[in-house]
Every structure is written in C-alpha cells, then in structure tokens.
Structure 1
Amino acid sequence: MDMIQGMVPHLGMKVSPRLVAASYILELSSQELQQAITEELNDNPALELLERATCSVCGSALEGSICPRCLRQQKIDQPSDEADFTEEYFSSYSLSGGTGEEDFDPLNQVAAQMTLSERLMMELQGMLPKSDLPIAEYLVGSLNDNGYLTCTVEEVAEFFGVPVRRVELVLGILQSLEPIGIGSRNIQECLLIQLSYLAQDGLAIPPYAQEIVTDHLHELAEHKYGKLASILGCSTDAVAEASEFIKQRLNPYPAQEAEKNEPGSAKGGAIHVLPDVIISSGEQQDRFDVEVVESKRFFLRVSPLYNQLLNDVEKEAERFSEDEKRHIQHYVSRAKLFIANINQRRQTLHKITQAIAEAQTDYLSKGVRFLKPLTRATVARELGMHESTVSRATASKYVMVPSGEVIPFSNFFTASLSVRDVIKEMIGDEDSPLTDQEIAAKLANRGIIVARRTVAKYREQLGILPSSLR
C-alpha cells in the first residue's frame, strides 16, 4: 500500500480561551464570584480592588453607615409618624459604624433565610458532575412546599436536550438526600421511597405495608380495614398494624418538617442570602429599575503602577529585560481581560433581569398568582442571546423583588406556578370539596383554560387528596 501525504481542508469550531473565561465568570454565583476575585487579586499584581461599603441586606451602597434603600423600605413597611420613625431609626443605627448590641441590625429586615433548596444544591454539587448541575438546579427549583416535583422528567429532558434517562439519574440522586422522600412525583412514590430507606436501615417493615402504599392508599385513607383485609387475604389486625406504621413512621410532606429543622428556619440561627440583582419600583407605574448588586459592591481596575510600567515599556523598551516586559504585558492583559469579563457579566445580568421584569410586571406588582408562563428560551430570543447564556447567567443567583423578598431566578421560569397557586387557593377556600372538573370550570371562569386531567396532575403535585378523600 502506498502512503500519500497531503493537505485536506477541514472546517471545525474552536472555542477561544476568552469565551471560556467569560462563560466561567458568567456562571458563578455571587459568593463564587467573590472567591474568584480574591484568588485573582492574590495571583495578579496588576489587578486592584477598590472596595465600597455596602448594605449587608440588599447590597446597595451605604451613605456613611446608613442604607437609603432599607430606610425607604422600612418607611413603607411602618407608615407611622415620620418624625418619630426617623428619630427611632437613627438612634438605633450607629453613625459611627459600631457593632454594639444596640446598633441597627439590617439582617433583621428582609434578607431571605437559607432554604431547603439551597442545602440540597450544596449537597448535590459534591455528588454530581458539573454538567448535571443545571439539571439538578431545575429539579430542585421545581419542588413545591411539600417537597414534591412539579415537572416531569420528560419536560426537563426536552428543556436541556438530554435523554430522559439522564434526568432520571439526577432525580435519583436528589431522592437519596434527606429529607427522605424529597423530589417524589406523588404521595405514593414518596412513601415507597421512605419504606425502602427504612428497610435498608434495618427497620422491620410490617407485612402488607408496601402493598397497601403501592395499590391501596385510597382504601387506607377511608379506613376500610375490612375491605383491605379481604383484598390482601389477611386479618384486620395486620392491616391496622401496617396502617399505624405508615401513620407513625412515614411523612407524606417531607419538605414541611425539614424546613422546621433547617438551620435557617425560625427555630434555628438565620442564614441569609444576599441578592445578586435588585428589582425596585420605578418612578412610573408598572416600571421597574434593575440594579446589579456587585456593581455597587466593588470596583476593579488595573494598578496605576502597572499601567505606568506598560507605558514605559512601550516608549522605552530598552530599559527593560525580556522577562520584565513579558511579566508586565502578561499581567496587565490578564487584568484587563478579567475586568472585561466582570463587566460583561454585569451587563448580561442587567439585560436579562430587565427583560424578565418587563415580562413579569403583574407578578412583581401583585404577587405570585399573576406569574406568567416564561421560559429561558423566550428571554434568550428577545435579547438575541443563546439560551445557554440565559441559563448560565441565572443559575444559582438571587433577586430581591420590590416587596423585599429575595427569591431565586428560577422562580420566574416556573411556567405553571400561577395555575397551581390558584388551585391551592381554591381548595383552601372551599366550603365543600371541589372535584377536579369543578376546579377546571372555576379556572375557566378566570380565563385559565386547563383540562380536568391537568388539574388532577397539579393537585397531586401539591400533595392534595382528591375531593372524595378531603
């Protein structure tokens, strides 16, 4: 065989190091960004940080030791006599910046507490490859107050363009965490996961408990022990034993109990989450201002000394050795690139948040029931960005909304949250149990058209029993 050497044209895509660095910075959470900045400051002598005093609640720039934003919010929340309020506020907020017990503590204001979702994500970060973390965040962000998953694995797979099996594997890891039963798709799966966990832990499971949970929850809820005994071919005492075990050992609402025991709950020491972005009411009605907090928190620049050295290198190169020139040029270029990536991150976050605020005006003004269906793809199309850019920019980041609440960005992208919220409200206010068909009819009267099957699906996701069992 003859070997022939030649040139063959090949068309391919090469990702530039600059793009990789920009994507990395964009993806970082606020805490991770601060760590990255600290590391870069330690490694790069040409980079300088000018720190600015910021509020520990909202991140806004302080005037002296006072946060104007929190002061305005407190005036709104407490519409008492203005003079009395101002005197009380300033007497407790030390202008000297002291830390005595009588000083005003802004952390008692509106900062969000560490949630169960945050703890789950912290654990998942150590258990999953980085490529699966966006899937995990989507799943955790789709948990309702009871800890149930409010989306299907098929929907998640379609969103990320990955096989369903991959989503199921990530979900399986989530379901292995405490509280046991978290991430379940319905009550039955929740209880079965808990039974399996208890069995693996060496606890004796009564006969028929698993079979009752698997196939006969309705009969159990109605206390039809005789019927269950007939179906299972056992005594009513055996059914009663299984029933008592299920009642005492299993928890159909895993997240509720877990939230009570979280370190950040009202019963424990509060852990606060600072927002990455603040959305505040604008001067015009239904208009909102967006502020990226980090732009107020710090200011990066190239060291004046290194700037001067670079100018000297360009004008009088003969004064410097080759190593000195390489050192100066390398670190100045590196500092400029790092600063450019930080600025691009701010601009991208600002654009995305502004687009979200314009799309969710009613939600920001009136509350969660007015949340409109919105996807990251929709925001990306509007801004002319790639969907992955929007996903990276909003992952693991938090927003302070006009009410003062700090929420994850993922809250804006829960398409069916408002419908579930209305269903939950209807059932909570019902005089007599509403059937799924009646709920669908009431929703239609409000202009929300959903099928009875969809109502049933959302009701199950909320962990609410059917009308016959309520």
Structure 2
Amino acid sequence: MTLAPRLDLRQSQSLVMTPQLQQAIKLLALSNLEIEAFVAGELEKNPLLEAGGTDDFAPPADGVDRAAEQHDLRAETGDADQLIGQGLGAADSPLDVDYGAETFIDDGPGDRMAGAIGSGGGMDMLSGGSGEAPDFDSFANPEQGLQEHLMDQARSALSGMDLMIAAQLIGQIDEAGYLEANLLETAHGMGVPLYRIEQVLGVIHGFDPTGVGARSLSECLALQAKEADRYDPCMAKLLANLDLLARGALPQLRRICGVDEEDMADMIRELRGYDPKPGLRFSSESAAPVTPDLFVRPTREGWAIEVNSATLPRVLINRTYYVELASGPQDRTSKAWLADCLASANWLVKALDQRQKTIVKVASEIVRQQEDFFRKGVEHLKPLTLKAVADAIQMHESTVSRVTSNKYLSCPRGLYELKYFFTSGVAAAGGEGAVSAEAVKSHIKALIAAETADAILSDDTLVDLLRAKGMDIARRTVAKYREAMGIGSSVQRRRQKALRGQAA
C-alpha cells in the first residue's frame, strides 16, 4: 500500500442547526414576560423593528384569511415595499384595516386585560369600573426593613463604640431575626472584650420585635416569655427541652418540669402565642404574582384557549424606513447590514407567530386529554406523559417539554403550570385504566383531613380506603405521597392532635 495524496468524493448527510433555528427553539421555553424582555433587546439592536399596539394582531371574526388576502393583493398590485417606494402605500389595504373596529373579536380575557393596560379606560378597569382611583399606596416603596428598624433603635439607646458593636451585630441578623454571628470571633475582630459584646447584645434583645437577636429558638421564645412575665423555672425547663415537645413526649416533660397536666397544657398554650420568627414581620420581600400565559374558558362548543395578549409582545417591521434606507446611497457593507436587519426582523416575526401557534396547539391537546379535570376537579386528573401529547399533535417530545416549561394556564379552577398536567399513573383496582398520582394525593389529603383524634388513619388503612375507591396502591407509595405533601405519620399526627387538644 503506497502513501500518496489523492482526492476522494464522498456523500454524507448531517443535521445542521442554524443560529436562527437554535434561537427559535430557545424561544419556546420562555414565558411571555421573558419573551417581552427578549423582544425589547431586539428592538434596540434592529432599527427596522418597532413595537406594535395592542390590537395590531387581533384575530378576524369573519373567518377571512388575511394572509391569503394580502398575498392575492400583492400579486395584483405589487409588493408592499414597492408600493411604498412608488407612493402607493394606500393600495396595500390590509395595512390600513381598522383593527379597533367591531369587525374583530374583543371579548376574551386577554383582550380585556390588554384593554385595561393600553386603553384610556384602563384606570376605570383597574378600579373595578367604580370610577374611583386605584390605591396608589399599594405601589409605594416597601416598608422599613428589619435591620433599619433595629439601627434606629440602636442610635437612640447606644453611642460610640457600643453603637459600632451594635451595628456589627445587627448586620449579622438574618431576616427571621436570629443572630448568626460568633460572639468570640466578633470580639477578637473588633478588639473589644467579650463581655462588652454580650452587654450590647443584651441591649439588642430588648429591641422591638421581642425575641430579635436570639441565637436559637429556645432563646427566642425565652426572650418573649420574659417580656410577658411568664419565664419561671418550669417554663425555662420546658424551653430547654423543646425536642421532647416536638416528639410529643408529654409525660417525660411533665416529670422534668414538675407540673401536672393542666399546668403543662397552659404552658404549651402560652408557647403557641409566641412568634418563632419575629423578624419576618419586617420582611420587605413580596411574592411576585404569576402571570398566566394562556386562558382557558368553557364555551358551548367546548373549550376556548387564548394566549394572554396583554403580556405577549408585538413587533412590526417598519417597511417605510427600510425603503428609505434602501433607496439612499450606500456601499456594499451598508447593503449587507440592511439585508441582515430585514432578514432578522422577518425571522423574529415568524418565530413569534410560530411559537404562539405551537403553544396553543400543545395546550389544546392537554385540555382535550384532561377535560375531566377542568369539568370535575383534581380527583379526575388522568396520567399523562409528554410523549402522549407529542404523538397526538405529531411533534417531538422535546418540543412539548420546552413549550410546557415556565408556562401557566388560567382556568375557572385556578392557575396551574402546564407541567402540572403531566403526572405518573397508579393502576386501577379493577385492572383497567390508571389514576393520576395527583388524584391519589388529593384523595389521601382529603381522608387525612377528615380523620378524628381518636381514629387516626394508618398507612395500611389508607391503602384499604383507596382500594375501595378503585386505586390499587402499595403502602410504601402511600407513605411516599404523604411525605411529599408534608403530612406526618399516624404516630406524629396522633401526638399533634393530642397537643392541640391540651392547648385548646
């Protein structure tokens, strides 16, 4: 075999994803609010893009295919860019349709939300149509935080080096009000005696809210007991053995504290009135509301599925500006840049439209397969997999996974993430069909909620009750579902009910 250079011709196939295709796939996994941020960045980079109004893409109510109509018109009169360049832009009638007229549907949830935001009557809609102005105090800056509240008190009670020590300690108090600092390390770091650190901490313990600056739950509750003048030797022993109280070992606690059942019940009732996390009342963090991406509502024909147009960004291509730039003097680089801008703008409009259609298609199939849930409740939720939806709509499983990520659906039963409808199944007792894991959890929760203190249901009893309802489930599965919902075992629930009965 000789070694020599030669030329070979080979034929092969490969799948190559263009950057635009990769970006289109990423758009599927984004929520409407994330899409809005993405589009805002594209508007800054591309001069041919501009933000559209709330009614720019309203669907026609007459069933006419506007895209086909526009294509036929262009075939007769020429492309829109050519018309604009010739001063005949008025001939492109679809661009001048009155989208605010009654020709288009404007009665869906998304239209009402978009109207409240974009129309002049939005203030009335926000106030419920009563004509009263909204409460602007709810939009004000958050209230004073815990550390600022403590520092205001420290400035009034301390000065000099003590104030510096207080600032150092307050800076290491977490949002729940507990001190995370090591006093000995703080003393070495600041070059002061340990007793002085402890003195300043004692002053902080007297600040509002009571219990702030504690280093443990026991110390936090002890500070509140002292403030209420309830810190006696029996209460001190109870606070020193909170682990026994958590386990429900009441006889052992009574022996340690030297009290009878009545006194123990009174002490437990007192503890229930204390705040284990006193700093949280000054928390300035507010839970961010979840904005639905889809609306589902019942109609006479079935279910109507609508994309939330209030949060869905709309972009238009400024073809007038493109014609002006294209007709002006420009070199090869400018022409290439302008062509890239136009191609990018066209791709973005098509990608957003395709994304919207894909989301509606996937959501429609989910609603179709889980119709019993929307009509009857979570007990009728069926087992569903991504592959089942993908096969039904002839899409890839990964596409369905991306579409259902970070998307929320609003229906008469509440707000749900699209991933919520995909659950594993539990075999039915009759051997036919299956029951969703969420439905089983709902039944377990309802059974435990209905149990009484003298009839606590064990996991074996729950298995028998569920099988009577047609759910063939193992005991370990019941225990797994129960623990996933944060529900204790039968022994723990019996002790908790006993504690509630004594504290009542």
| TM-score bucket (shorter structure) | 0.5 to 0.7
Quote the offset at 1:8 in angstroms: 6.4
Which amino acid counterpart does residue 481 of structure 2 have in structure 1?
A: Y
Counterpart residue number, 1:21: 23
Question: CA 1:361–1:444 in 2, change beyond 3 Å: closer, same or farther?
Answer: same
Q: Deviations over 1:284-318 (max 9, x none)?
A: 4xx221111148844322112145358x66xxxx9
- Report SS of the residue matched to 1:463: coil
Alignment of structure 1 residues 438-457 onto 2, 5 Å:
438-457=461-480
Counterpart for residue 396 of structure 2: 386
Amino acid of the structure 2 residue aligned with 1:301: L
Equivalent AA in structure 1 for residue 444 of structure 2: I
Residue 390 to residue 459, structure 1, CA distance change in 2 (3 Å): same
RMSD over aligned CA atoms reads 4.7
How far the C-alpha of 1:66 sits from its partner, in A, is 5.4
Deviations 1:67-117 (A, max 9, x none): 8xx98xx9xxxxxxxxxxxxx943336xxxxxx4469x9x9xxxxxxxxxx
**Residues paired across the two proteins, number:** 312
- Show the counterpart of 2:405: 395
Residue correspondence of structure 1 range 167-178 to structure 2 within 5 A: none
Contact 2:49 2:316 in 1 (8 A): yes
Give, in whole Å, the separation in 2 of the partners of 1:368 and 1:204. Answer: 38
> Could you tell me how far apart the structure 1 residues matched to 2:31 and 2:366 are?
19
The equivalent of 1:300 in structure 2 is 315
Aligned twin of 1:333: 343
Amino acid at match of 1:392: R
Q: What's the TM-score once normalised by structure 2's chain length?
A: 0.51
* Alpha-carbon distance in 1 for matches of 2:404, 2:121: 29
For the pair 1:62 / 2:112, whether they are aligned, the reply is no
User: Contact between 1:398 and 1:407, CA under 8 Å: does it hold in 2?
Assistant: yes
Asked if 2 retains the 8 angstrom alpha-carbon contact of 1:52 and 1:297, the reply is: no
Aligned residue for 1:375? 385
What amino acid sits opposite 1:340 in the alignment? K
Judge conservation of contact 1:362–1:370 (CA < 8 Å) in 2: yes
Alignment of structure 1 residues 279-428 onto 2, 5 Å: 279-284=296-301, 287-294=302-309, 297-309=312-324, 321-403=331-413, 405-415=414-424, 416-428=437-449
Greater CA radius of gyration, 1 or 2?
A: 2
SS at match of 1:433: coil
Task: Give matches, 1:159-170, under 5 Å.
Answer: none
Deviation of 1:374 (Å)? 1.6
Which segments of 5 or more consecutive residues in structure 2 lack a partner in the other structure?
56-105, 140-174, 177-214, 219-242, 258-267, 269-276, 425-436, 495-504
Cα offset, 1:225, TM superposition: 6.4
Equivalences for residues 39-54 of structure 1 within 5 A: 39-52=41-54
Native 8 Å contact 1:363 1:371 kept in 2: yes
**AA of the residue aligned to 1:407:** Y
Paired amino acid for 2:289: H
Partners of 2:294 and 2:307 within 8 A in 1: yes
Q: Separation in 1 of the partners of 2:120 and 2:422? A: 36
Report deviation, 1:328: 2.5
Q: Is the partner of 1:61 in helix, strand or coil?
A: helix
Q: How far apart, CA to CA, are the structure 1 residues paired with 2:34 and 2:19?
A: 20
Instruction: String of CA shifts for 1:332-382, please: whole Å, max 9, x gaps.
Output: 111000111111110111111111111222222333232222222221121
Moved more, 328-337 or 359-368: 359-368
Higher-RCO chain (CA-CA 8 Å, sequence separation at least 6): 1
Residue 447 of structure 1 deviates from its aligned partner by 2.1
Percent same amino acid at aligned positions? 27
Tell me what 1:195 maps to.
Answer: none
State the TM-score, normalized to the length of structure 1: 0.55
Write the letter of the residue equivalent to 2:54: R
* 1:458 partner letter: Y
- Per-residue CA shift, 1:5-44, capped at 9, x if unaligned? 4436344332222321211211222222111101101110
Partner of 1:2: 3
